[in-house]
């Protein structure tokens, strides 16, 4: 009996958090977090404020928890690839990341949209960057300070491509297609640039 109660409670908590998440994302499409109130999130989700405060301290905490959950998920994806696998198959790693992004596209649109959190973008870039730099250095693709400059160039270009992909109004490219675009642009450019040294 107790197990059934726990499962029902867990299901209710998941439903509550999902409803609150959808409301927050809806408002983030319209305005920045500083102009969103707990009151309007609760009214839109049809959930009382006492329940809201059982999960979050305020709208900033709710957003931060969503960002952390997303980042941890991407981190787990990246941890499943060794540096050798990334070097041999960067396309495979990128497809995995884009598939993960595609599964929670509304969250990604909110986090990377015009009302998104710049610190989230920086953390996302840093998270992926640690793995990429480690791979480049181990494979001697780019060395020393060149590796960091190359990564900054690549990361910011990739974020631009991701944002374009997320908000495409016509038929969006598949995760496989967009990963292919980045691999062609990035790896061809870096390999060609490093040959001149």
76-104 per-position pLDDT tens digit: 877 777 766 666 677 777 888 888 888 88
Separation CA 101–CA 124 (nearest Å) = 12
CATH assignment, 60-195: 1.10.357
Predicted confidence at residue 189, as pLDDT, reads 62
Q: How confident is the model at residue 5 (pLDDT cuts 50, 70, 90)?
A: low
Closest alpha carbon to 157 in 135, 184, 133: 184
Ranges of each domain in the chain: 1-56, 60-195
pLDDT per position as a tens digit, 51-71: 999 999 999 999 999 999 888
User: Which one is the CATH code of 1-56: 1.10.3720.10, 3.20.20.480, 3.40.50.12780, 1.10.10.60?
Assistant: 1.10.10.60
pLDDT band at 6 (very low <50, low <70, confident <90, very high): low
- Phi and psi of 190, rounded to 5°? -70, -45
Residue 174: C-alpha distances to residues 73, 101, 161 (Å): 20, 11, 13
- Tell me the residue length of the chain: 197
Tokens of 187: 């790896």
For 12, residues 6+ apart whose C-beta sits below 8 A from its C-beta are none
> What number of other Cβ atoms are within 10 A of residue 175's Cβ?
19
Phi/psi for 20 (5° steps) reads -70, -40
1-56 shares its CATH topology with 60-195: no
Give the contacts of 93 (CB within 8 A, at least 6 positions apart). 78, 81, 85, 86, 131
The verdict on pTM exceeding 0.75 is yes
In sign, the C-alpha dihedral spanning 142, 146, 152, 157 is negative
């Amino acid at each position: 009996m107790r197990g059934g109660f726990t499962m029902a409670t867990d299901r209710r908590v998941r439903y509550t958090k999902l409803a609150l998440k959808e409301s927050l994302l809806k408002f983030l499409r319209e305005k920045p977090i500083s102009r969103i109130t707990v009151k309007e999130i609760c009214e839109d989700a049809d959930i009382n404020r006492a329940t809201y405060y059982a999960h979050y301290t305020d709208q900033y905490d709710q957003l931060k928890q969503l960002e952390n959950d997303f980042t941890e998920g991407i981190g787990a994806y990246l941890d499943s690839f060794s540096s050798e696998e990334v070097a041999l198959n960067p396309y495979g790693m990128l497809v995995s990341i884009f598939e993960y992004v595609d599964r929670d596209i509304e969250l990604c649109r909110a986090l990377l949209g015009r009302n998104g959190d710049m610190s989230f973008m920086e953390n996302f870039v840093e998270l992926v960057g640690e793995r990429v730099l480690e791979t480049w250095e181990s494979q001697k693709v780019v060395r020393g300070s060149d590796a960091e400059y190359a990564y900054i160039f690549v990361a910011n270009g990739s974020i631009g491509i991701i944002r374009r992909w997320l908000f495409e109004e016509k038929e969006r490219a598949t995760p496989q297609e967009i990963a292919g675009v980045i691999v062609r642009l990035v790896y061809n450019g870096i390999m060609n640039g490093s040959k001149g040294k």
